[in-house]
Amino acid sequence: MGDPIFVTSPLLPPLEEFLPYLEQIWESKRLTNGGPFHEQLERDLADYLGVEHLCLFGNGTLALVTALQALRISGEVITTPYSFVATSHSLLWNGLTPVFVDIEPDSCNLDPSKIEQAITPATTAIMPVHCYGVPCDVERIQEIADNYGLKVIYDAAHAFAVTLEGRSVLQYGDLSILSFHATKVFNTFEGGAIICPDAKTKQRINYLKNFGFANETTVVAPGINGKMNEVQAAFGLLQLKHIDQALARREYLFARYRAALSEVPGIRLPEIPGNVGWNHAYCPVFVDSIYPIARDELYELLRREGILARRYFYPLLSDFPMYRGLKGSSHAELPEAQKIASQVICLPMFPDMQEQQQDRIISLVCDPLHV
Ligand X SMILES: *Cc1c(COP(=O)(O)O)cnc(C)c1O
Kindly tell me which of 193 and 196 has the beta carbon lying closer to ligand X. Answer: 193
The catalytically annotated residue of 29, 114, 184, 227 is 184
Per CB under 6 A, 168 contacts ligand X: no
Alpha-carbon distance of 306 to 165, in angstroms, equals 40
Sign of torsion, CA 104 69 168 254?
negative
Span interacting with ligand X, options 6-14, 84-92, 205-213, 344-352, rule CB under 6 A? 84-92
* Closest distance of CB 86 from ligand X, Å: 4
Q: Is residue 183 within 8 Å of 173, Cβ to Cβ?
A: no
Closest alpha carbon to 158 in 140, 184, 197: 184
- Our finding on whether 192 is near ligand X (CB under 6 A) is yes
Q: Is 60 among the residues that bind ligand X (CB under 6 A)?
A: yes
Task: Assess 129 for contact with ligand X (CB under 6 A).
Answer: yes
According to CB under 6 A, which residues from 171 to 190 bind ligand X?
Answer: 179, 181
| Residue 84 is a binding residue for ligand X (CB under 6 A) | yes
Q: Is 184 a catalytic residue?
A: yes
Q: Is 341 helix (H, G, I), strand (E, B) or coil?
A: helix
Judged by beta carbon, residue 193 or residue 264, the one nearer ligand X is 193
By C-alpha distance, which of 169, 127, 170 is closest to 150? 127
Cβ-contact 145, 152 below 8 angstroms: yes
* CA distances to 82, 236, 255 from 73, in Å: 22, 30, 41
Residue 34 has what DSSP assignment?
A: S
Which one of 1-9, 80-88, 281-289, 323-331 is the stretch in contact with ligand X (CB under 6 A)?
80-88
Shortest Å, Cβ 231 to ligand X: 16
Residue type, 231: V
> What does the per-residue mask of binding to ligand X show for 202-241, with x meaning CB under 6 A?
----------------------------------------
291 binds ligand X (CB under 6 A): no
Rounded to 5 degrees, φ, ψ at 140 are -70, -35
Query: Which residues, in sequence order, are CB contacts of 243 under 8 Å at separation 6+?
Result: 11, 48, 161, 185, 186
Of residues 110 and 264, the one with the C-beta less far from ligand X: 110
Which positions are annotated as active-site residues? 184
- Which residues in this chain contact ligand X in the complex, by CB under 6 A? 59-61, 83-84, 86-87, 129, 155, 157-158, 179, 181, 192
